[in-house]
Chains A and B, each alone.
Chain A
Amino acid sequence: MVSEELDIANKNLPAEQGPVQYVNELTTLNLGPTHPATHGIFQNVLQMDGEKIVSGEQTIGYIHRAFEKIAERRPFYQITTLTDRMNYCSSPINNMGWHMTVEKLLGVEVPKRAQYIRVIMMELARLADHLICNGILGVDTGAFTGFLYIYQEREHIYEIYEEVCGARLTTNMGRIGGMERDLSPTAIRKIKELLVRFPKVLNEFENLFNRNRIFMDRVVNVGGISAERALSYGFTGPNLRAAGVDYDVRVMNPYSSYEDFEFDIPVGQSGDTYDRFMVRNEEMKQSLRIIQQAINNLPEGSYFADAPQYYLPPKQEVYKNMEALIYHFKIVMGEIEAPVGEVYHAVEGGNGELGFYLISDGGRTPYRLHFRRPCFIYYQAYPEMCKGLTLSDAIVIMSSMNVIAGELDA
C-alpha cells in the first residue's frame, strides 16, 4: 500500500487500535529462465515494490556453447556454422561477417558481383531480423495480428535463402572468397517479387501500429535511454540510433561495397520503445532501397574470387584436373596457408556492431577468436531501463531491445 492510502486507512480505524505501520516490503519475482514473454532463455530476478520494479538481476549463459573455444580447433571454413547459431534471426549477416574477416586476414579481394549478392543477402537478413523484433513487440503488447501479417513475408525471405544456399534458418551461406553459387533466375525473380510485395505488407503493418492509441500508450516514454548513457553502455545498431546517435557501421566503415548504395540512417530522439520500433520500421524501408539498387545494378562477372588456394574448386574440375584435386584436398582438410596476424572486422548486424577479433598464428585454426556480440554488451542496461516501471513495461522493453539468446551467450 502506498503511504497516502495508509493515511486514509488509519483515519477510519478506531483510536485504541493504533495506526497501521507502513512496511517497505519488496517482492522477489523470477522472470524466466523459461517464460513465454522473454523469447529466449534468460533469467531476471526482479525486486518489486508493489507494481514497480526497484532493481533487477540478470542471469545469462543458459545456452552458452563455448563457440570461442570450439573455434580454436576448427579450420576457418568450419567456423561459419558456429556463426549461424549466434544471431539466428539474421544468420547470413553473421556468415558474411565471418567470411569478410577471414578474407581480410588472407588478403583476398572479392569481385563486385559477389559483394553485391552479399549485400542483398545481408539486407534480406536485416529485414527478417527487424520483422521478428517488431512483430514480437506487437505480440507482447497484445496485438497478435500484426505479427501474422508480416510473418508471411519472413517466410518469403526464407524461401529466398533456400534458393540461394539450400537452408532456411542456420544458413551457412557463402564461402571464404565469394558465394558458393550464383544467384539463380528463380532467386532473382523471388527477390523482385518480394520488393513489390513487401512495401505493401509493411505499410499495412505500420497502419496497424504507428498511430494506434493502445500501442502508443504501451510504448511511448517506456524504457527510454539517453544518448550519453546508451554510448556508455556500448549500445550499437537500431537501439543506439533510436537514442539519436547516427552510428552505422555500413556508413562509417563501409564493407562489401556498401559505399555504392544510397540510403539514409534513421534516428530517433528519446531512445524509448516507440523510437526503437519506428527506427526498425524505417530501416526496413532503407534495406529495401539497398536491395532494389543492388538488384538493378548487379554487376556481371564472377561470383567468387580468383583465389584457388582458398576457394573450393568446382567438383567436375576435381575429377579432371590435378591442381583442382590438390586444392580441394588442402581446403577440405583445412591446410590453407594463413598469414600470422590479428584482424578486427565489424559488420552491422541485426542488433548492432557485430565484430570478429581473429588472431592467427599461421596454423590451420585461429589461435584465438573473439566475437563482439552486440546483444551481450547492451543487455546489461536492461535493469536501468526498467527501473520504476511495471512488469508489463519490462516485457515490452525486452522485446524492443531484440535480445537474441544465441548471440547473448555465444
Chain B
Amino acid sequence: MLTNEEVAQIILNQFGETVTDFDDPYDLLTCSTSRDQIVSLVKFLKEHPTLQIGFLTDITAIHYPDSAGKEFCVVYHLHSLTKNFRIRIKVYLTTDDLHIPTLIPLFASANWMERETFDLFGILFDGHPDLRRILNMEEMDYHPMRKEYPLEDATREDKIDALFGR
C-alpha cells in the first residue's frame, strides 16, 4: 500500500522543484506542475516499476477568472490499478496562452477527454490529431463552461442573485 508521502517523495526526487503544491484534500494526493513537465511526469508515473500509475481516469479543466496568470487549470486524475493509488495533477495556464501537450501517445482514452475539455473551455492540446468540438455543434464560437458565460440571460432583472444563487 502506497502512502501519499512516499509517492510525493518519489516525485520530488525525480522532478525536484518543477512539481509543487503538494496537498492531500480528502486523502487524494494533489500536485501541480508546468505544461513542459506534464507529459514527462505522467510518463514517469506510468513507467515507474513500483508506482505503476497507468490508468487515466479523467481530464477536465476549471476556470478561475479572478486569479491573474492562473486563469485556467487543467486537471488530470490518474489511478494505479495494481497499487490502488490515485493522484491528481494540475497544470495552470493563462488566458493568452492555452497550449498544453496532448497525452494521446500515452493513453488512447485522452482523445475524447481532451476534445471535451477543448470544447467546453478552449484549452488547446498541442499534438492532438483531431481537436474538434465533441458535445457542442461545430458552428459555436465560444467555450460555454467559462465563467463569463452566465447560464441565464444576464439582462434579466426579475432574478436577484442574492436570493436565487449565482
Question: What residues of A have a CB within 8 angstroms of the CB of B108 in the complex?
Answer: 229, 232-234, 380-381
- Whether the Cβ atoms of A72 and B151 lie closer than 8 Å is yes
Query: Distance in Å from the Cβ of A342 to the closest Cβ of chain B?
Result: 5
Residue B111 is within 8 A (CB to CB) of chain A in the complex: yes
- Whether the Cβ atoms of B26 and A376 lie closer than 8 Å is no
Query: Distance in Å from the Cβ of A56 to the closest Cβ of chain B?
Result: 13
Residue A368 is within 8 A (CB to CB) of chain B in the complex: yes
Residue A125 is within 8 A (CB to CB) of chain B in the complex: no
Question: What residues of B have a CB within 8 angstroms of the CB of A104 in the complex?
Answer: 26
B115 nearest CB neighbor, chain A only: A380
Q: Quick one: CB contact mask for A291-317 with B, threshold 8 Å, 1 for yes?
A: 000000000000000000000000000
- Whether the Cβ atoms of A359 and B62 lie closer than 8 Å is yes
Query: Distance in Å from the Cβ of A157 to the closest Cβ of chain B?
Result: 30
The count of residues in chain A whose C-beta lies closer than 8 Å to any C-beta of chain B is 47
Residue B15 is within 8 A (CB to CB) of chain A in the complex: no
A68 nearest CB neighbor, chain B only: B145
Residue B44 is within 8 A (CB to CB) of chain A in the complex: no
Q: Quick one: CB contact mask for A343-373 with B, threshold 8 Å, 1 for yes?
A: 1101000000101010100011101101010
B-contacting residues, A317-361, CB 8 Å: 334, 341-344, 346, 353, 355, 357, 359
Question: What residues of A have a CB within 8 angstroms of the CB of B86 in the complex?
Answer: 344
- Whether the Cβ atoms of B54 and A344 lie closer than 8 Å is no
Question: What residues of B have a CB within 8 angstroms of the CB of A234 in the complex?
Answer: 55-57, 107-109, 113
Question: What residues of B have a CB within 8 angstroms of the CB of A252 in the complex?
Answer: 81, 84
A-contacting residues, B107-157, CB 8 Å: 107-109, 111-113, 116, 120, 133-137, 144-145, 151-152
Residue B165 is within 8 A (CB to CB) of chain A in the complex: yes
Question: What residues of A have a CB within 8 angstroms of the CB of B111 in the complex?
Answer: 380
Q: A232-B109, A357-B58, A365-B165 are in contact. Are A247 and B151 (CB under 8 A)?
A: no
Q: Which of A60, A231, A247, A343 contacts B25 (CB 8 A)?
A: A343
Query: Distance in Å from the Cβ of A207 to the closest Cβ of chain B?
Result: 35
Query: Distance in Å from the Cβ of B142 to the closest Cβ of chain A?
Result: 12
Question: What residues of A have a CB within 8 angstroms of the CB of B134 in the complex?
Answer: 60-61
- Whether the Cβ atoms of A380 and B81 lie closer than 8 Å is no
Residue B77 is within 8 A (CB to CB) of chain A in the complex: yes
- Whether the Cβ atoms of B166 and A69 lie closer than 8 Å is no
Query: Distance in Å from the Cβ of B46 to the closest Cβ of chain A?
Result: 11
B-contacting residues, A29-77, CB 8 Å: 60-61, 64, 66, 68-70, 72-75
- Whether the Cβ atoms of B120 and A232 lie closer than 8 Å is no
Residue A13 is within 8 A (CB to CB) of chain B in the complex: no
Query: Distance in Å from the Cβ of A217 to the closest Cβ of chain B?
Result: 30
- Whether the Cβ atoms of B112 and A377 lie closer than 8 Å is yes
Residue B28 is within 8 A (CB to CB) of chain A in the complex: yes
A-contacting residues, B84-115, CB 8 Å: 84, 86, 88, 107-109, 111-113
Question: What residues of B have a CB within 8 angstroms of the CB of A233 in the complex?
Answer: 108-109
Residue B75 is within 8 A (CB to CB) of chain A in the complex: yes
B-contacting residues, A73-112, CB 8 Å: 73-75, 104-105
Residue A137 is within 8 A (CB to CB) of chain B in the complex: no
Measured in the bound complex, the distance between the Cα atoms of B111 and A21 in whole Å is 39
- Whether the Cβ atoms of A253 and B165 lie closer than 8 Å is no
Residue B60 is within 8 A (CB to CB) of chain A in the complex: yes
Measured in the bound complex, the distance between the Cα atoms of B109 and A363 in whole Å is 33
Residue A275 is within 8 A (CB to CB) of chain B in the complex: no
Question: What residues of A have a CB within 8 angstroms of the CB of B58 in the complex?
Answer: 355, 357, 370, 372
Measured in the bound complex, the distance between the Cα atoms of B86 and A323 in whole Å is 41
Residue A403 is within 8 A (CB to CB) of chain B in the complex: no
Question: What residues of B have a CB within 8 angstroms of the CB of A365 in the complex?
Answer: 165-166
- Whether the Cβ atoms of B88 and A344 lie closer than 8 Å is yes
Of listed A70, A364, A368, residue having the most chain B CB within 10 A: A368
B150 nearest CB neighbor, chain A only: A73
Residue A245 is within 8 A (CB to CB) of chain B in the complex: yes
Residue A409 is within 8 A (CB to CB) of chain B in the complex: yes
Q: Which of B75, B112, B133, B135 contacts A357 (CB 8 A)?
A: B75
- Whether the Cβ atoms of A253 and B84 lie closer than 8 Å is yes
Q: A60-B134, A370-B60, A409-B135 are in contact. Are A364 and B165 (CB under 8 A)?
A: yes
B-contacting residues, A200-241, CB 8 Å: 229, 231-234
A334 nearest CB neighbor, chain B only: B165
Query: Distance in Å from the Cβ of A338 to the closest Cβ of chain B?
Result: 13
Question: What residues of B have a CB within 8 angstroms of the CB of A380 in the complex?
Answer: 108-109, 111-112
Measured in the bound complex, the distance between the Cα atoms of B84 and A68 in whole Å is 28
Measured in the bound complex, the distance between the Cα atoms of B58 and A342 in whole Å is 15
Measured in the bound complex, the distance between the Cα atoms of B56 and A225 in whole Å is 18
Can you list 22 A-B contacts (CB < 8 A)? A60-B134, A60-B135, A64-B135, A66-B144, A69-B145, A70-B151, A72-B151, A72-B166, A73-B166, A231-B55, A232-B107, A234-B56, A234-B107, A252-B81, A343-B25, A344-B26, A344-B28, A357-B58, A357-B60, A359-B62, A377-B113, A378-B109
Interface positions of B (Cβ within 8 A of A): 25-26, 28, 30, 54-58, 60, 62-63, 75, 77, 81, 84, 86, 88, 107-109, 111-113, 116, 120, 133-137, 144-145, 151-152, 165-166
The 8 closest A-B pairs by CB, nearest first: A234-B109, A61-B135, A64-B135, A370-B60, A232-B108, A372-B58, A380-B112, A233-B108
